[in-house]
Structure formats: C-alpha cells, structure tokens
Structure 1
C-alpha cells in the first residue's frame, strides 16, 4: 500500500514560523515534523510515499529528496497553487495508482495508522476519529457501529488520517476542491467506515500547539 502526505498548505496559522520555513519542515523533537511521519510510515511497512507540495515546495523537496535517506521512495505532486485536500489528492492519483492508499495530513501528530485491511470491500474510505480538541469542540462526524455518519452523537473529530479508495475523487475534474463533501456523499451511501482512537493526537496547526507537542515529546 502507498501513502500520501498532504503538505501543500500555506501554514498561515503558523506564522511567523512559516514566513521563511514551510510547515512540514518545522522542527519538533529534533527533526522536521514531516520526517516523523516518514519514519512512522516506514515502521508500518510503507515503501512508497506521495507528497503534495506548493508553498516553498523547493525547500521541502530539497530537504527530503528521493526519500532514500529514510529508506523510502518519495514521489512529488507539485501544485503551482494549493488545490485543497480533494483537489490535491485528485491531481496525485496518477502517482498513487488504483489501489486504496493511506492518507496522512502533514500537520497532525498521531500514534495510530490504520492497516490496508481496515478498508473493507465496497467502502470508499476508513477514517480515524479522535476526541474533540478544545479548538474544535463540535467535532466533524459521528460513529455508529463502525460506520461514519455526518450527523449523530457523540461528535468526534476527523484525525486527518485514513484509508481512501481512489474512486472517491477519481470522477472529479482537476482543480481545487474540498474532500469533506465527497466524504459526506459516501457516508450517505454507507460507504465510509471508521474507528475511534483515544490515544495521543495533536492538530499541530499553531505555534502554541507545536510548542505543546515539543513539551510532550520531551517527557521521559
């Protein structure tokens, strides 16, 4: 199974840290945030990783190269302008192929990665859901007997990690578009499964949360 890391964002919430450094290269616990992802993917048995880039793309590509330093094969999907999550995935499909792939938001930290077996036949996505953080108290979706639904209680937050089938976005025209509406359409057809992960997860979206993650990882 291949993986895709979403790393094309502008990092506006991280300013001023991202004025001269793209968010994936911001250091945490002694190494760039995206390197933590690469190391975790390698431990999970992933060998090929597609990374979409836009803002300061040359810096990210120059820092990681072909991935050989991390015993991975990296493929780059360059976006002259950010295409949002859905559009970024759609553009990268020729690199991802026709099989389901692991999707990881580049600005999250999580100890959980699902296996390919988590996506059952006929489903378009399997999502990792987490408890709602303080900055997102109303959550995104609900979980009902292993199926993800747009409505219902209790509310949970999409972690930014999941298994996606290319069919979810393959029929969309190239260009910028969000992923959430397509997920909701698939949910309405009972084609999205999920699981609740209660371990450590961080949306590393602001300097404050980056500092909190640094402090957490510094603990023995």
Structure 2
C-alpha cells in the first residue's frame, strides 16, 4: 500500500500566516502538522508516499526532504492550483499505478494515528474505505449515509439537509477502481473534482464502499481556533524535559519541554508547554498549553494557551491568551503620548483638571 498526501492547499482561513508559508508546516507543539501525518503513515507500515504540493511546494520539499527522516520514500507531485481531492488522485496516476493507497489530507491531525485503519484496509481490500466521525454541523462537510451493515450508500458534499451526522474527515483507502471514477466525473459548482463525487460514481455502479466511524479526537487545522485546539491536545500528551538553562529565580512546574539553548530568567513556566532552542524568557509568566518556537524573545509578559512561531518578540504584554503570533512578529507596548489639554474657556469659568 502507498500513501498520497495532499499538501497543496492555500489555507485561506489561516491568512496572513499562509501568505508567507505553507499551512501544512504551521507548528503544533513546535512540530509542523504535516510531520504528524507522515509519522502516522510510517507507523502504519507504509513505506512509499506521494506528496501533492502547490505554489509553496519548495517549502514542503525543504522541510520533508526525501522522507528518510520519517522512514518513507517520498515523491513530489505538482498541482498547479487546488482543483479538488479527486484531481490530486488524477495527477498521481503514474505514481500510484494499480496499487491500493491511503489518501490523507496533510493538515489533518488524528490523535490515534492511521495504523488500525490502514491494517483493516489492507486485510480487506476493496474499491474504497472511508473514515467518518459524527459532527455537530454536517452542512460544513462531506456527509455519508450508511446502510444497516455499515456500508456507504450515499455521499453528499456540504448538503443543506444532511441525511446523517457522519462527516468525512480526510482519510480514505482506495483500490484501483478509483482511477476510472476520477476520470469519469465532472467539476462541481466550486470548479473542483470532488472525491465525494468519485466515490458516489463507484456506489452508483454497485461497488462496495466500506466505512469506519471514530469518536476519537480529530481536527482539520484549517483555522486558528482549530490549530490552537490541536496544540492543546498534543501538549496534553508530552513528557517534560528541561535541557535549557533555568536560573535560580525561575520556577518550572508540570510537564515542560525546554530545548537545549533556551534560557529562562526570573520567570514562571507552568506546563504543559514547549519552548524552542534559542528562545529567551525574562521576567515573564508562561502558562499552560503554550508552544513557543525557536529564537523567540519574551520579556515582562504573561502568555497562556497560545502558539508563537519562530523569532516572535513579545515585550510588556500584561496578558496574552488564545493567540497565534507569527514568524518574526513583534508585540510591544504602545508609546506613551504626551498628555495635553486644549481649552477654549469663557470669561469667569472654572475648570478642574485631573492631571
């Protein structure tokens, strides 16, 4: 079995961060979200992966390389612009051949990984297998309707009147039948080749589509709130390790991972939290569920439940919470403007000034 990983999306909901970097490389607990997926693919026993990249493909190549760091052989497939998941399968035809493959969205995070799903797909090969989860608002997702045996009978993309609450969460297993399906379908009203249409094409021709349902944590990290929530979930599972320098006037409580080269002076760090190499924290309070990347400077500030990207500089911030601060961004006190009063006072008036 091979893997096809989609990493070409533009990440419009994460602007302005994605105006200057690939959304799949935004960090979760100081590690790009794409890396979690690649590690899960390797842990599932898959050894060959194709990564579909777009205009920021150079950044993805630079971060992932040949895949050997993950135990994978990685091939890069260029997509001119995001034209749908089925289009990604279409352009990957030569790489995939007739092999069964796992299709995975590169900005997804699944806490339980992919091993069980991949093993069951390999043990019981078929036209398609989908991973589903119940959601509160199915109108925002591709939605599956199942029969009594748990097989898929119908798929709809973002339906106005959903037939179920079971949403597709970006993990699929396909056999070679999908290649005919993606060639047969037409673009949707969005101008994309929808994978839901390809699967429905197979259903309409009597092919069996299996489904699995999970209630374990899953997130599409396509928004700031989702990214912060995944950061919280990952930090909940870290182990503390202090390799950096902590002076005697500082306190480190709970599970804190302080990288070698990081420095903490006169500060209080409460885990779970991760702090990258080269970061200096002075006279500050870092609360739980905070990930601070490499080469940041935090001074006279309090930060909690936040993610700071490489090179961020925060000074004099009395309280920052639930925030995402970009690469090289600067947060500093506003300059104090000289205070003055301009008065036009009539005869015999009395004015009292507070300062």
* Residue 29 (structure 1) shift: 1.4
**Alignment check: 8 A CA contact 2:141 2:168 kept:** no
Cα-to-partner distance string for 1:71-100 (whole Å, 9 max, x where unaligned): 210011011222321111110121112111
| Large movers: runs of 4+ above 3 Å | 133-139, 151-154, 173-176
> 2:105 aligned with 1:131, yes or no?
no
**2:65 aligns to what?**
65
* Residue 133 (structure 1) shift: 4.6
TM-score, L = length of structure 2:
0.57
Give the number of the structure with larger relative contact order, counting CA–CA contacts within 8 Å between residues 6 or more apart.
1
- Which structure has the greater CA radius of gyration? 2
> 2:150 aligned with 1:140, yes or no?
no
Distance in 2, Cα, partners of 1:198 & 1:78:
34
**Alignment check: 8 A CA contact 1:17 1:207 kept:** no
* Residue 163 (structure 1) shift: 0.4
CA RMSD of aligned residues (A): 2.4
The alignment partner of 1:198 has SS state of coil
**Alignment check: 8 A CA contact 1:128 1:158 kept:** yes
TM-score, L = length of structure 1:
0.89
Distance in 1, Cα, partners of 2:34 & 2:18:
14
* Residue 185 (structure 1) shift: 1.9
Unaligned runs of 5+ in 2: 156-161, 238-355
Distance in 2, Cα, partners of 1:182 & 1:139:
12
**1:202 aligns to what?**
219
In structure 2, relative to structure 1, the CA distance for the partners of 1:133 and 1:58 (3 Å cut) is farther
| Structure with the larger helix share | 1
Unaligned runs of 5+ in 1: none
The aligned length equals 219
In structure 2, relative to structure 1, the CA distance for the partners of 1:156 and 1:37 (3 Å cut) is same
**1:93 aligns to what?**
93
Distance in 1, Cα, partners of 2:215 & 2:86:
26
> 2:154 aligned with 1:150, yes or no?
yes
